[in-house]
Amino acid sequence: MKEKKQSALSRLMGIAGGHKYFTYASCVLAILSAWIALIPFYDIWRIMKEILEVRPDFADATHIKTYGWQAVGFALFAMVVYIAALMCSHIGAFRVQANMRTAMMEHIMKLPLGYVEKEGTGKLRKVVNDSSAATETFLAHNLPDKVVSVATPVGLLVVMFVFDWRLGIASLIPAVLAFIMMGTLMMGPKMAEDMKQYQNALETMSSEAVEYVRGIPVVKTFGQTVYSFKKFKAAIDDYEKWTLDYTKGMMMVLFTMSANGIFAALIIVAYILGGNHVSNTFVLNLIFYILITSVLTTTLMKIAYAGESQMLVEDALQRMDDILNAKPLVNTEKQEIPKDASITMEHVTFAYDEAKKNAIDDISMKIPAGAHIALVGPSGGGKTTLASLVARFWDVKDGSIKIGGVDVKNIDTKKLMEEVSYVFQDSKLLKISILENIRMGRPDATDEEVMQALSAAQCMDIIEKFPAGVHTMIGSKGIYVSGGEAQRLSIARAFLKNAPILILDEATAFADPDNERLVQKAFENLAKDKTVIMIAHRLSTITDADCIYVLKDGKIAENGTHEELAAKNGIYTHMWKEYNKSVNWQVGRKGETA
């Protein structure tokens, strides 16, 4: 038997825990406020009735003041009850939002680092923030409005048929048509899919817009036009096509016409029923219906918007599930301590989820403690993947990786992070001071130890150019540093951590010539007495490596020292010749322009 899918509201109540009762209380209070808000209309009807009965002797209308104050009193009372409903709904909504963010962040902390790198921190941050914000808006505002929108027609049905059932039916026909269109056209599976496509189109256009803005210096420098950014234009065109197709569908137009057509229906029916003989009671009821049906129109529009927000919540929950369904790293109870910094790979095989072929295919190698090895090869050969498996960014599919004779799966995650330092090609600095950025390598480090790490990483010229020195803030509230400077600061963080295994993933990729020289000097200092795995595209930086492994299509194609590989006339020989040609070409070009 197929398990029934849990509704979005039921899931949110499960996330709310004990605070779900605040949401239930908000719904009850919202219903009461909706019904209390109808009482002033009855008082208005009594005022109009008394005026029609005593005309032209309006001095005999002695109850108008009483009815008027009573209408004001009930209107204020309805407002107070609704405010209480909103207070309860906000308490429940904030708890759901907090619990969702906590659950997602706790799960993300358990996921492989490779998953975070693959998905991107920007996308994960957007899901965590926007998904929880969508549920907060729905529970705090849209749900009470939706409850009011359902309770109000129930009260209106009673009121409408008490005074004149014929006008009541006339009022309901357009409303029923609007409800039918809402259910079949605006809240069905097609609309849910349309809302998903709309969110995807907005997300794509926003992402491409950011990339375009970042690329404006390139556009100006090389005289390119906006049409060189084909992906950005394509995103705009796709969004335009979606909005035009949605508008041509006429769903919202037909719904709005029906919801606002109640007044027209009343006039037509009144003309047919009244003819040339219109009684005071009929006029009174007609005016009353015209007044009160405006509430029905507003109610229908609120239901439509509440339905749209519910679809957004369902989409938000699905995006949250995509994160929560990602499998975390499995830690065994058997926790062992590596005896040294040696690395052993035995028949390691790995494939990314949904990939058609292995990224790493049956690789074995032994790296002695203190050895310096390099991974080179064509793009997509598996260099970064293999290095990330050592740090357990992912778990291998087959085979094993051992550090100091211990399988990385049997090393406590915190202990493993103490054993391995990973310097990425695109270093990340947080929007905090330089001091605190470096101290992330070892939170209990003293200021003096941080300064020693900065000095060893060739960062003192960076510190000295800022008045606040090491206390200078990074980011929007402070300063920005170049790619090469950010790389040196990341190396200082690795210095402070002082892990016995060091992985350098094309760490000089974004460094200019001056910074590259300093970065290389920092690496020399950092690599002393450590086991080093270096991924490099600048082959001149790895000629002194103890062993160079050439990876192609996830396999080791060649391995040996620089001299041995250069003499083989194989892949590495070709790469070395091409690298030297590019270096000589750059030197020649510089000479020509000098």
Q: What is the pLDDT of residues 467-515, one digit of tens each?
A: 889 999 987 667 778 777 888 888 889 888 889 999 988 766 555 566 6
The pLDDT of residue 188 = 54
Residue 378 banded pLDDT, cuts 50, 70, 90: confident
Strands of 547-552's sheet in order across: 420-423, 501-505, 531-535, 372-376, 547-552, 555-560
Q: Which of 56-65, 223-232, 439-448 has the lowest mean pLDDT?
A: 223-232
Q: Once rounded to an integer, what is the mean pLDDT over residues 187-210?
A: 63
- Cβ-proximal residues to 315 (8 Å cutoff; 6+ apart), any chain: 134, 195, 196, 199
Amino acid at 57: D
Predicted confidence (pLDDT) per residue in 144-184, tens digit:
888 887 788 777 777 766 776 677 777 777 777 776 666 55
DSSP code, position 42: H
Q: Once rounded to an integer, what is the mean pLDDT over residues 278-293?
A: 73
DSSP code, position 471: G
pTM assigned to the model: 0.64
DSSP-based three-state secondary structure for 374: strand
The pLDDT of residue 587 = 43
Q: How far apart are CA 558 and CA 363, in angstroms?
A: 12
Predicted confidence (pLDDT) per residue in 293-332, tens digit:
777 777 776 766 666 677 778 888 888 888 888 888 777 7
Residue 344 banded pLDDT, cuts 50, 70, 90: very high
* Structure-model confidence comparison of residues 521 and 471, the more confident one: 471
Contact between residue 249 and residue 181 where contact means Cβ atoms under 8 Å apart: no
In the chain, % of residues over pLDDT 70: 79
Q: How far apart are CA 207 and CA 288, in angstroms?
A: 52
What stretches of 356-508 show up as alpha helix (H) in DSSP?
Answer: 383-390, 413-419, 434-439, 447-456, 460-464, 483-497
Does the pLDDT of residue 347 top 60, yes or no?
A: yes
Does the pLDDT of residue 1 top 50, yes or no?
A: no
Q: How far apart are CA 313 and CA 93, in angstroms?
A: 12
Q: How far apart are CA 436 and CA 273, in angstroms?
A: 80
Residue 2 banded pLDDT, cuts 50, 70, 90: very low
Q: How far apart are CA 399 and CA 186, in angstroms?
A: 53
The pLDDT of residue 350 = 93
Residue 32 banded pLDDT, cuts 50, 70, 90: very high
Predicted confidence (pLDDT) per residue in 566-585, tens digit:
998 899 999 888 888 766 65
- Cβ-proximal residues to 396 (8 Å cutoff; 6+ apart), any chain: 348, 349, 350, 360, 389
CA 534 to chain centre: 33
Does the pLDDT of residue 453 top 70, yes or no?
A: yes
* Structure-model confidence comparison of residues 355 and 435, the more confident one: 435
- Cβ-proximal residues to 497 (8 Å cutoff; 6+ apart), any chain: 418, 421, 441, 442
Residue 229 banded pLDDT, cuts 50, 70, 90: low
Q: Once rounded to an integer, what is the mean pLDDT over residues 251-265?
A: 68
The pLDDT of residue 583 = 60
Amino acid at 421: S
Does the pLDDT of residue 359 top 80, yes or no?
A: yes
Predicted confidence (pLDDT) per residue in 406-430, tens digit:
999 888 888 888 899 888 776 778 8
Does the pLDDT of residue 218 top 60, yes or no?
A: no
Q: How far apart are CA 585 and CA 58, in angstroms?
A: 102
Does the pLDDT of residue 274 top 90, yes or no?
A: no
CA distances from 235 to 127, 208, 229 (A): 20, 7, 10
The per-residue pLDDT of the chain, averaged, comes to 80
The pLDDT of residue 345 = 94
Does the pLDDT of residue 96 top 70, yes or no?
A: yes
Q: Once rounded to an integer, what is the mean pLDDT over residues 25-33?
A: 94
The pLDDT of residue 211 = 59
Predicted confidence (pLDDT) per residue in 522-533, tens digit:
877 888 888 999
Q: Once rounded to an integer, what is the mean pLDDT over residues 70-82?
A: 94
The pLDDT of residue 208 = 65
Q: Once rounded to an integer, what is the mean pLDDT over residues 551-565?
A: 93
The pLDDT of residue 594 = 38
Q: Once rounded to an integer, what is the mean pLDDT over residues 449-466?
A: 89
Residue 365, both tokens:
């190698």
Residue 590 banded pLDDT, cuts 50, 70, 90: very low
Does the pLDDT of residue 137 top 90, yes or no?
A: no
DSSP code, position 140: I
DSSP-based three-state secondary structure for 331: coil
In the chain, % of residues over pLDDT 90: 24
